[in-house]
């Protein structure tokens, strides 16, 4: 009877000792995923903002034009509208796919929509584009960056 009681007490003690370690490991994984997600969102936003506001071919419809089939061919901000990278396919600016435990389950989505300010005639070209980069984990939003870009005259 004493041995059974000692075994039960020992089992509870082992559980109590290891629980903080497993909780810390899960927290560390979550922190790593959030840090990576923030970096991926910021990297994409910086890439988008490095492009000109106006399309060199004169197009003004959000989304890539004919022939702009990959990200490296995008030549202005609105080309990124609708750009999506599914889990396991997020790539950096050089085209290298991001791997590792923290990247598992992450996906990236971009919208770039023209915005008209109050009083601006909609018959004229828009002077703002709202860019949103969203990183999701298992299709649940994790990080969202939004930027309003002004067309310099």
The half-sphere exposure of 1 on its side-chain side, counting CA atoms within 13 A, is 0
- Render each residue's pLDDT in the chain as its tens digit; 153 residues: 778 777 877 777 777 777 766 665 655 566 788 999 999 999 999 999 999 999 888 877 899 999 999 999 999 999 999 999 999 999 988 889 999 888 999 999 999 999 988 888 888 888 999 999 999 999 999 999 999 999 987
Taking the complete model, does pTM exceed 0.85, yes or no? no
pLDDT at 8: 78
- What are the distances in angstroms from CA 15 to CA 10, 24, 104? 9, 14, 29
Alpha-helical regions (H) of 50-124: none
Contact 148, 80 (CB under 8 A): no
Q: Supply the range of the domain harboring residue 20.
A: 2-150
Give the per-residue pLDDT at 105.
93
Kindly give, in sequence order, each residue whose CB lies less than 8 Å from that of residue 2, ignoring residues fewer than 6 positions away: none
Would you state the pLDDT for residue 12? 79
- Give the number of domains in the chain: 1
């Amino acid at each position: 009877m004493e041995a059974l009681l000692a075994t039960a007490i020992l089992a509870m003690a082992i559980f109590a000792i290891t629980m903080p370690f497993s909780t810390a490991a899960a927290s560390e994984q979550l922190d790593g995923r959030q840090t990576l997600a923030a970096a991926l969102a910021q990297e994409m936003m910086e890439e988008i903002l490095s492009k000109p506001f106006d399309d060199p071919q004169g197009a003004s419809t959000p989304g890539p034009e004919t022939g702009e089939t990959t990200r490296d061919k995008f030549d202005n901000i609105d080309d990124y509208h609708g750009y999506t990278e599914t889990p396991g396919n997020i790539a950096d600016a050089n085209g290298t796919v991001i791997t590792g435990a923290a990247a598992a389950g992450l996906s990236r989505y971009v919208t770039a929509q023209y915005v008209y300010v109050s009083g601006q005639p909609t018959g004229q070209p828009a002077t703002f584009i709202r860019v949103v980069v969203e990183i999701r984990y298992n299709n649940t939003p994790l990080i969202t960056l939004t930027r309003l870009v002004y067309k310099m005259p």
